Chain A
């Protein structure tokens, strides 16, 4: 039985760039872990891996985009779209509940997901702080483009956004000046998306 800080692990899956398929040699190994008991939220390192551990109650709040959680903990909830590849362990007794919790109704949640991403990423763009994590902006924009095109909210990106995200993320040294126009444009698109209820192009 796997445990983390003394709590039984009910589920474990990869998150971050490995889950989304954007990993490179510099990528961290990030994992979401759901724990039995009531430890709340534990963010820690274990054997060099970054662990984001939640008890069931906190995990539910995360998946519900609970406003009382850090943006950082909910903006990557689309990681559940990759569970078919990223799931490492799921305790049989927790299976049904896990599948229920992670079954996000994106038609209802997409706006709040976008808004939380704006809340988190806008400051980097406004201050021209070119963190590597800004590749997510291309990813999010691509995901929305695919959603708009197909009606399917899934971890699939049009080629142009996919390539841009990889190009940005794989830079040895980030040269933000080449991307700032794109980022500002994406932030504006996302704002319009929220304001228009998902019809930013219209």
Chain B
């Protein structure tokens, strides 16, 4: 037991040690396609083949290059669900591209912890179904991507901005339409509405309402005085199924121009 030089002249480094650092550098993502390297290992299907563009896959820090034009033949001998996997087998020090199929449902893949004693990991880079007459790629399947540090940071910054925008900044909404005495405001999130002070622009006045009181399917009524002492009322209600707020007014001419919500 002792210290082992790794990044030093003449050092002898194992593939496991190298892979451990790659794994760490790849944000400890178990398996994924290296984003923005090569052509991203995208797939297409034609003539019973699934074809891949080139790119890099990393599984627990083990790097594999998929060459351009790599393809797998799918025999249309039965109806099955399948994956095309890059399979790493440390027991045999091998890597392979294989199809794994089962009837009735997608197969369960072997995914052992290669960093901690496991030897086999199957990483699916494509998913498909087949019948005796057709091969269909599942285009909704998106293999995990391993992003560059810069991309990951930019995305995190954007997520943080979105979070602040979604939860803390002022937002404004105009009615999508008026139907009789009801004005509809679409795309309202209940959780955000409940954190807001809502200012309703009606009858050329700004009426302040507490968002927490505009709950599910219960009407909140607010009173407005205008032209001196004239009184009108409006109801405010959140419709949870369609995520909209509806404001009911006494008269169709009581135009609700907009709402502004402050959090």
B221 touches A43 (CB 8 A): yes
A127-B241 CB under 8 A given contacts A68-B251, A119-B180 = yes
The stretch that binds A, out of B93-101, B113-121, B159-167, B231-239, is: B231-239
Tell whether, in the assembled complex, residue A43 and residue B241 are in contact, meaning their CB atoms are under 8 Å apart: no
Residue B185 at the A interface, CB < 8 A?
no
Nearest residue (CB) in B for A52 is B221
Interfacial chain A residues near B180, Cβ < 8 Å: 119
- A68 to chain B: which residues have CB within 8 Å? 232, 250-251
A16-58 vs B, CB cutoff 8 Å, 1 = contact: the mask equals 0000000000000000000000001111000000000000000
Asked if B217 and A132 make an inter-chain contact with CB atoms under 8 angstroms apart, the answer reads yes
Q: A152 in the interface, Cβ–Cβ < 8 Å?
A: no
A130 and B241 alpha carbons, distance in the complex (Å):
8
Rounded to whole angstroms, the CA-CA distance of A73 and B251 in the bound complex is: 13
A129 lies within 8 A of chain B by Cβ: yes
25 A-B pairs, CB-CB below 8 angstroms? A41-B231, A42-B223, A43-B233, A67-B251, A68-B232, A68-B250, A70-B181, A70-B233, A70-B234, A70-B235, A71-B181, A72-B219, A72-B221, A72-B248, A119-B180, A123-B179, A123-B182, A123-B246, A127-B242, A128-B241, A128-B242, A129-B217, A129-B239, A130-B241, A133-B217
A200 at the interface (CB under 8 A from B): no
Q: Measured between alpha carbons, how far is A42 from B249 in the docked complex, in Å?
A: 15
When C-beta atoms are compared, the residue in chain B nearest to A134 turns out to be B217
Interface size, A (range): 20 to 34
Known: A41-B231, A41-B233, A133-B217. Contact between A70 and B239, CB under 8 A?
A: no
Q: Is B38 an interface residue (CB 8 A)?
A: no
Closest to B238 in A: A129
Bound-state Cα–Cα, A8 to B239, Å:
37
> A72, B235: Cβ atoms under 8 Å?
yes
Kindly state whether residue B107 has any CB partner on chain A within 8 Å.
no
Give the residues from 60 to 81 in chain A that come closer than 8 angstroms, CB to CB, to chain B.
67-73
Q: For residue B219, which residues in chain A have a CB less than 8 angstroms away from its CB?
A: 72
Nearest A-chain residue to B220, judged by Cβ: A43
A124 to B218, CA, bound (A): 12
New A-B contacts (11) at CB < 8 Å, excluding given A42-B223, A70-B250: A40-B223, A41-B233, A70-B181, A70-B235, A70-B249, A71-B181, A72-B248, A123-B179, A129-B239, A129-B240, A132-B217
Which A residues lie within 8 Å of B241 (CB)? 127-130
Min CB gap B12→A, angstroms: 66
- Among A40, A71, A133, the residue within 8 A (CB) of B231 is A40
Q: Is A131 an interface residue (CB 8 A)?
A: yes
Q: Tell me the minimal C-beta distance from A175 to chain B in angstroms.
A: 13
109-128 of chain A: CB within 8 A of chain B = 119-120, 123-124, 127-128
Complex: chain A residue closest to B231, CB-CB: A40
Question: Please, which residues of chain A bring their CB within 8 A of the CB of B223?
Answer: 40-43
- Interfacial chain B residues near A69, Cβ < 8 Å: 233, 250
CA gap between A43 and B220 in the complex, in Å: 9
Closest 8 CB pairs of A and B: A131-B217, A43-B221, A40-B231, A129-B239, A129-B241, A127-B242, A68-B250, A70-B233
Instruction: Report the Cα distance A75→B52, complex, angstroms.
Output: 65
Q: 0/1 per residue, B180-201, Cβ < 8 Å to A?
A: 1110000000000000000000
B217 touches A73 (CB 8 A): no
Which B residues are in CB contact (< 8 Å) with A40? Answer: 223, 231
Chain B residue at minimum C-beta to C-beta distance from A43: B221
- Are B221 and A70 closer than 8 Å at their CB atoms? yes
Cβ–Cβ < 8 Å partners of B242 in chain A: 127-129
Query: Shortest Cβ distance from B213 into chain A, in angstroms?
Result: 10
In the complex, what distance in Å separates the CA atom of A133 from the CA atom of B232? 24
Specify which chain B residues have a CB less than 8 angstroms from the CB of A67 in the assembled complex.
251
What residue of chain B has the Cβ atom nearest to residue A132's Cβ? Answer: B217
Q: Which of chain A's residues have a CB closer than 8 A to the CB of B181?
A: 70-71, 119
Query: B14-65: which have CB < 8 Å to A?
Result: none
In the assembled complex, the Cα of A94 lies from the Cα of B219 at a distance in Å of: 31
> For residue A130, which residues in chain B have a CB less than 8 angstroms away from its CB?
241
Residues of the B chain whose Cβ atoms lie less than 8 Å from the Cβ of A42: 223
Q: How far is the CA of A129 from the CA of B237 in the complex (A)?
A: 11
Give every chain B residue within 8 A of A73 (Cβ-Cβ).
233
**Complex CA–CA separation, A128 to B248 (angstroms):** 18
* Residue on A nearest B234 in the bound complex, by CB: A70
